[in-house]
Amino acid sequence: MGNRVDEAGSLWNMVLHTHSRSISKRLFSRMISLFYHHSMPDKIIEVFADMEELCVRPDENTVKKVTRAFQELGEEEKQKLVLRRYMSKWKYIHFNGE
């Protein structure tokens, strides 16, 4: 199974270098989820760094996975920075009136 994860990482690097300006937020999130599932915090941080470099704003689940990766690596300051930057204190709930 590890070989398939390596293949996915190679494919990710190829896509990143050839289509650097047109990678969707969803693809970034999928790659982070893949590396999260296989307990690879260093790879999660690499993908997140690419995401920030291309000014792609992560969704809430991605932020949680990235902060857990920083926690596993013992980098609490970076974890707090990511939480401050991307997690909002307020969440808007839309509902139809009565």
Statement: the pTM of the whole predicted model exceeds 0.85 = no
Per residue, the 3-state secondary structure of 55-76, as one string, reads CCCCCHHHHHHHHHHHHHCCCH
Q: For residue 3, what pLDDT is reported?
A: 76
Long-range CB contact pairs, 14-19, < 8 A, 24+: 16/50
Residues 4-25 have pLDDT tens digits of 888 888 888 888 888 777 888 9
Residues 14-66 have pLDDT tens digits of 888 887 778 889 989 999 999 999 999 999 999 999 999 989 999 999 999 99
